[in-house]
Every structure is written in structure tokens, then in C-alpha cells.
Amino acid sequence: MGQNNDSTCRLCGQEFKSAIVMKNHIVKSTDCKHQLLAYVYEQLHIKCKDLNSYVEKYQSYFDNATEEFSCVNKGNLLEKIRTDVRKEKEERDYAKRQAIEQRKLARHEADLKRLAELQEERDIRKRLEKDKMESLNVNDRPKALVEEYHNLVQTKCYNFMIEIQIVKGLYTKYNLQPDVAHKVIKYMAKMGYKLVNLNYKIDEAMEFVEICKQRNEPDTIPYLIGYFYNKIGLKPSFKSFMKEYNCIKSSMLANNLTIEQVKNVLNGMIKEKVQVLLWFDSKVAKYANQAKKNDDPVHNYSEEREINENIQEIVNGKLTVDKVNTEIRPKCIAILKQKFMNGDFNENYNYFEWAFKINLPMDDEMIAYGEVYNNRRNSRFNKLGKQIIGDEAKANKYREVMNKYHNWLADYGLY
């Protein structure tokens, strides 16, 4: 029923402070009209504020209310009200369903229109892609690039159509020129990356292509890397080129080096016959500002600092013991042994797993200690074995690692 906040009794005209007070008046009144409204109120649990609206709607029943107004007539009034309420509810529900259906229909029509637009957009894109592919030289097309990749890595292609679609993205998604696309493919092959991972490696490959353009430009890092290897008589490593580039670049930023200071460091490494360019940062203090070394303690790169940095890299899983400079390796091993004995390493690994992971040599004391306490720590390898169930590729890789781990344990008489 419609809401009515009027607190004036429509049966007798009296005014009250609120609808609740008016309801109490109706219930306590003894005349036929008020008793009829009180009966309707009690039977239908009407809200106080809606009483007057019932009087207005069923005025004829209240006008004819007398002492002789029988229970049957009361029942008829109740049934009439219930019927009206039910019809109103049905009408509201029907209107609501109609509104929902109209919204669905409007949404459906909008979806169909949008699908048609998308289909048209796809058709246009396909035509443009087809025109672009046809405009390419046969040797520059995706199929030729896929074949070039597999010729370089000397493998057979088992996902030919998938790889063609991925390589096509070099032209459609990244809008590369054919010569750049060939360089990206060669980079993927030489780095040993799978072609299906092209989209994950494209940024790395593009960065490499851009950096390589500087190889013949004096006073650039790529040029100086070539200069270093030429002087020491070794051939640059393709795979380590980006690591070496980033090593020198980060050292320049961290130590505020000029290109001339970089040359000084490289010349010092050449004189010292250091063949590992990744050790560049450890030689900065020694050669970059040799004339000012005593006056500029900021650049004094001490052995202690080098040891601490290597230990931190090993603990973080970014370096293994066999990659540490041979001059400081014994001291690093001594510190790592102490960490081993104290259990001061990644809690996900047990003692032998961690030693294997970082390639840490073990002595008799470490072996004996590990035999006692190894099973008291979590086993990373066991946990991984449970996680890869159902994934055959990961399972094969896991078995390879476990074979190496068991052979490593066997060398110490532990397997």
C-alpha cells in the first residue's frame, strides 16, 4: 500500500502527535468503524503509517460498518484486501520481469552490434596483416625466420604453426623491420632460448640489438668490451655480453665513473691479465683513480667489501662458490662454512641441499654435522618433487637435478 504519514484519524477526524498514537486510539475505540479498522490492523499486521490509506481505499466498507457488521463481512474485507495486495505484487513482479527482459534485450542487441564491429575490426586487421606479409621478401617472412632459427640451433620444429604465429608478431605487434627481425631471431638462437618464449624475451633481444649498434662507436661500453677482449687475445662471449655490459654500466652509475675512468680500469685489468670482465667492479678502486687513490677513500674497494658482497650474492642465490675470485675464495668458504654450521641460510633447504646449491666444498666436520642435523630442516627438493606431479617437463628437469645431487652426495660418501 502507498505510504501516508498523516496522523489524523480519517474515521473521526481527531489529530494525534504520531501515527503510533493514532493506532492506539483506533485499537481502544469501541465504535464499529474503529473496531473494524483495528480488526484489519491486527489480522494483516499493517504499519501504523499505512492505516489511513486503507481507510481511503476501502471507504465503502467503513461507511457501512454497523453493529450488525458480521464476521463474514469482516472476512470478505480481509479477503478483498489480500486479493488486492496479491494482485499489486503480481503486477509489480510482472513489471520488474519486463524491465529485466528489456535490459537483457537491449544488452543483447548492444553485444551483437559490438561483435559485428569487432568482427569487422578483425577482418580489417587480417587484411592488413596479409598485405604486410605479402609485401615482405620471401626470406623475411615468418616461415623463413622459423626455419632460420631451427637451422641455427640444429633442431627439428614440432610446433611449426604456433611458432609462425609468434614470429609474425615481430611485424604485426612490434612493427619491426626485416633486418631487425633477423637479429632478434639470431639472438634467440644464440642464447639458447626457445622460440615459443619470444614474447617474453623480445625486450631483452631488442635491447641487445640497440646496444650492438654501438660496437663500432668509440667511447661506448660495447666498443670498450671489444677493446678489452682484443687486448687479452680472447674471443668475446655472446652469452655473457649483456652481463658484462650491465656490470660496467651499473659500476659507472654506482661509482660515478666517466668513460675515461672505465678505460683506466680496463687497461689495468689487461696489465694484470685479468680475463674475467665481470670482475670489473672489484678493480675500480685500484685503477679508476689511481693518481688520487690516497686522497679519495670513497673509491677504495677493499678486499673485505669484496668478500662481503660475494657472500651476500651467494646467500641470495645469485652466485656459486666456484664463481668467486680465486684470491678471496678461501676466505669466502670459511665464512660460508660458519653459516653452514650455524644453519644461517635459507630455511627452505636442509644442510646438504644448500651446500649443493651454492657448490660449497664440505670437510669432515661439516659432513658429520650435516649427518646429525640434516633431517631436522625442511627439504626443498622433496617439496619440489611433490609440486611438479603431473608436469612431465618439470619432472624431467627435476630428475636431472636430483641425479646431480645424488652424485654429489655420493662423492662425499653420503648416498
Instruction: Tell which residue, 209, 208, 242, 206, has the closest CA to residue 225.
Output: 242
Provide the residue type at 382 as one letter: N
Q: CA-CA distance, 197 to 114, in Å (whole number)?
A: 33
Helices (H), 288-374: 303-315, 329-342, 351-358, 364-373
Whether pTM > 0.85 for this model: the answer is no
Handedness of CA 227, 228, 234, 235 (dihedral sign): negative
pLDDT of res. 72: 56
Count the neighbouring beta carbons within 10 Å of the beta carbon of residue 25: 17
Q: CA-CA distance, 404 to 407, in Å (whole number)?
A: 5
Cell numbers linked to 382: 622433496
H/E stretch holding 74 reads helix 71-135
pLDDT of res. 294: 42
Contacts (Cβ under 8 Å, ≥6 apart) of 57 = 1, 84
- What own/partner pairs with CB < 8 Å and gap ≥ 24 does 201-208 have? 202/170, 202/174, 204/242, 206/174, 206/180, 207/242, 208/241, 208/242
Largest CA distance in the chain: 126
Question: What is the pLDDT tens value at each position of the chain, 415 positions in all?
Answer: 444 456 888 888 888 888 888 888 888 887 878 878 888 888 888 888 888 888 888 887 777 777 666 555 677 778 888 888 888 888 889 989 999 999 999 998 988 889 888 888 888 888 888 888 888 899 999 999 999 999 999 988 888 899 999 999 888 888 889 999 999 999 999 888 998 899 898 998 999 989 988 888 888 999 999 989 988 888 888 889 989 999 999 999 988 999 989 999 999 999 888 889 999 999 998 888 764 444 444 344 467 878 888 898 898 888 899 988 888 889 999 999 998 988 888 888 999 999 999 999 999 889 888 888 888 888 888 888 887 777 777 888 888 888 999 999 998 888 7
